[in-house]
A and B are shown apart, each in its own frame.
Chain A
Amino acid sequence: MSAASRLEHAPREAPKGFIRCYVFGTDHKVIGLQYFFLALAAVTIGIILSLLMRFHLVWPMAHLPFVAGGIMTPEQYLALVTMHGTIMVFFVLTTAPQSAFGNYFLPIQIGAPDMAFPRLNMLSFWLTLTAFLLMLAAFVVPGGAPISGWTAYPPLSGLGEIAGPGEGIGQSIWVISILVFCFGSLLGSINFISTTIDMRAPGMTLMRMPLTVWAWFVTAILSLLAFAVLLAGGILLVLDRSAGTSFFLPAGLVVNGEPLAHGGGSPLLWQHLFWFFGHPEVYIAILPGMGVVSHILANFSRKPVFGYRAMALALCAIGFMGFLVWGHHMFVSGMNPYSGLAFSVLTMSIGVPSAIKTFNWLGTLWGGKIQFRSPMLFAIGFVSFFVTGGLSGIFLAQPAVDTMLHATYYVVGHFHIVMGVAAIFGIFAATYYWFPKMFGRKMDETLGKLHFWLTFVGVYCIFMPMHFVGVAGGIRRYADSTGANYLAALQPLHRFMTFAAFITAAAQLIFFYNFFRSLRKGERASANPWNATTLEWITSSPPPPDNFGGHYPSVYREPYEYSVPGAHQDFLPQNLAPEDLPRANEEPRNA
């Protein structure tokens, strides 16, 4: 499409009827919202599963009305572990930051009418929803949900029922759900990449893209490369489980007293394939949050992002290096110790672009005029968690120290803070920030702030003590603390964390209340309530079906032109042409 024909594009009508608009809609905004509400449902289930786990760790003998037999068994606990991890990683941390917000805002921020492939986009969502429903079905099949964790290491995950409850149909459904999810993500990432490359408005050069767009773009490339490998690994696992192959199963297995006829496979092969996906997956979860945080810090500090180029390059560097460090998950796996050393140096090196991001966020705040609105608070919280979780990772990146901390609660605390909570704070920041654009109404500020304070404190209270439990040798994925004598001494910390978890989870009800109430009763939002510069703010709230009502923007300036000296106001929208810029002595006009 040439620039001229873009500009003369007639306004597009929204499809009529609920089914065509919301069920089989191809509008990227509708699909973004579908992903958002899918993630909202998933996170609700994920939190409930985690509360059940925290409850069981402290009161293992309590009678629970909804548990078969009344008292939770170890295999039921491990099913919770598996499903909590899987649902959170795939259906929340991959779905919300990238598929939901990326879908909604990437086309608008680059001045495009839609994604490059709108029908493919709809298919991606329907595949993801199918995967989600399949995953939930694992709870109700005979034998229940799988017990092999979200990492599903074979042989445990490759042998079927003989390896334990949930390893029959439950594990099969789990693998198939993951395969369907992979397909959806692959199609989605192709769409994101094509859209970013092909659909940018005139003047929207790469170095004028908002950092959110950079983050979604790099994340899409990671998704394309990482999910392809998980897809391959998952297919091999299905074959091992059902076709009698032995990709991951070696000779000489004796399971439950029964010799098996497998031979020639390697359990470490799965670990390599899984973590070749699994480590980039961490960045798939966190990079969009980094983009959102840079975007919001600039907006509410009323300053350009400090070191924009370094920030964009750091995103690319983290994305690239993210593929070189998977072996740090395998220091104790029996992998060659020399490769352990190589992975260690590479992992420590990824701290460099991460540190660049942190310093530049501080640099963006420095000298600013910081406005403490809900999105800003969550963005600052993200920075705090990213620092904490990043630094605790420095321990685990060293194989010698990892041999002491691996598979303890230290690891659980580390990755929850850096990948879980930081990413979720990115999602919250994005939700509070873009709610007025998506729904045309504002969320309540007082409730938003209350939600922030309780969550910020609560989350640190849940996950910081885990590091101490881990240093003392408390082991993750244990259904109870009676297995070793020394574990009993750690129970007081577990009790504290459980109380903190329940209080923090309760605080999320404030968010839900605020969100759903504001949908109908929130104060009406103007097109640009935060006085921001990027293209999503030059169109109405919510945007028309074709995003710009037929008037496609051209871009004349960099994305974060806040407080430019001599300008008539403290923000210059990206589409503001130099000839439209009022001279300093003129009356300011509405942008």
Chain B
Amino acid sequence: MARRERGSATGPLLLALLLTLLVLATVYAFAAHLYPAPPPITSDAVLVDRQYNLTLYVTGAVFILAQLGLAYAVLRFRDRGQRARFTRGNIAMEILWSSATVFTFVGLAILGRNAWAEVRFTPPASDAIQVEVTTNQFVYTFRYPGADGKFGMLDSTLVNAPAGNPLGLDPNDPAGKDDIVVPTLTVPVNRPVELLLRSQDVVHNFFVRELRLQQDAVPGMVIPVHFTANQIGKYEIVCTQLCGLGHSRMYSILNVVSQFDYESFLKRQAAGQ
């Protein structure tokens, strides 16, 4: 059989070049932190960042090796009139790279447990400040239990935002008399805070980048999350769960303040009730 014409080298060269460029551009963009996440403000968020970085190094190494390996293969083994090497495979190699992948990926999953378990499996400290977060289309409402430390009863049939009762507080429950209901979240620095997430209508989400925390608020459920912020400042709260036409405008502020400012915030609010 007549030998077929050799392939041109332009295709393989260009492909190898593009794959190399892909690797260089990706490595540069990640290494240069062109669009970084903001600095974390809790020790748990630091754990998340650490796990993120570890994953970045491991997957980054595999990414570089695999893409450059592909680039090398297309260049090195392009049709230059040679004979292809006949092989059906290699069991030892299969076992080697399967075990390497098991070790790497499952190992990563087990290491990643820490950052997750720290927040999810341990209850908040007993002196944690409880704040209830209620979501509805397209508003966050925050409730503090007030001086008595108890939340008043809610009744969904009493919900009436225009009349000043967005949560449906039961006026007959004495525990609810001193509840503070506000549109932004104010917490003291370096104090554990437990949020109780609820929703009145559809699924919403509570996301603060600096906490590295997203949590859905699901109607019919009360979902607890806790954190201890260690940086005074204002941070943006946004909704990441598609909730309707106002989804992208659902917004509030997390205000981390000094203990003194927190107490005066509570006093001011209590006086206004």
Contacts and interface: CB of A to CB of B under 8 A. Distances in A.
Interface residues of B, number: 108
Contact of A306 (B89, B157, B243, B251): B89
B105 A562 contact: no
B37 A404 contact: yes
Contacts of B18: 453, 456-457
Interface string A383-405: 11001100110110111110110
A302 interface: yes
Contacts of A334: 197, 215-218, 221, 223
A196 interface: no
A332 B223 CA distance: 10
B83 interface: yes
Contacts of A377: 11, 15
A369 B109 contact: no
B154 to A, nearest CB: 8
B204 to A, nearest CB: 10
Interface string B225-255: 0000000000010101111111111110000
Interface in A4-47: none
B90 interface: yes
A224 interface: no
B264 interface: no
Contacts of B26: 464
Given A147-B244, A404-B48, A493-B35, A257 B161 contact: yes
A303 B77 CA distance: 12
A468 B28 CA distance: 12
B51 interface: yes
Interface in B19-56: 19, 22, 25-26, 29, 34-38, 47-48, 51-52, 55-56
Interface string A453-480: 1001100100010001101110111111
B223 A356 contact: no
Q: Chain A interface: which size bin?
A: 35 or more
A568 B1 contact: yes
A408 interface: yes
A504 interface: no
Contacts of B101: 351-352, 355-356
B105 A257 contact: no
Given A351-B105, A401-B51, A308 B84 contact: no
Nearest to A566: B86
B115 to A, nearest CB: 3
Interface stretch (A115-123, A285-293, A483-491, A519-527): A483-491
Given A163-B202, A164-B245, A256 B97 contact: no
Given A341-B116, A404-B37, A308 B12 contact: no
Contacts of A310: 89, 94
A524 B86 CA distance: 32
Contact of A569 (B1, B59, B66, B93): B1
B271 interface: no
A348 B1 contact: no
Interface in A249-281: 249-257, 259, 265-268
A121 B87 CA distance: 39
A312 to B, nearest CB: 12
Interface in A365-392: 365-372, 377, 380, 383-384, 387-388, 391-392
A253 B219 contact: yes
A259 B157 contact: yes
B91 to A, nearest CB: 8
B201 A344 contact: no
A347 B113 CA distance: 14
Interface of B: 1, 7-8, 11-12, 14-15, 18-19, 22, 25-26, 29, 34-38, 47-48, 51-52, 55-56, 58-59, 62-63, 66-67, 69-70, 73-74, 77-80, 82-90, 93-94, 97-98, 101-102, 105-106, 108-110, 112-117, 120-121, 136-137, 156-157, 159-162, 168, 197, 200-203, 205, 207, 209, 212-221, 223, 236, 238, 240-251
21 contacts: A74-B249, A78-B245, A78-B247, A159-B202, A163-B244, A255-B202, A302-B84, A344-B116, A367-B84, A370-B79, A380-B15, A388-B67, A399-B120, A401-B55, A403-B213, A407-B205, A464-B25, A472-B36, A563-B84, A565-B86, A588-B1
Given A303-B86, A362-B66, A367-B77, 14 more contacts: A163-B202, A253-B156, A265-B220, A304-B87, A334-B221, A358-B66, A363-B93, A384-B70, A387-B70, A400-B114, A401-B55, A483-B251, A493-B35, A563-B85
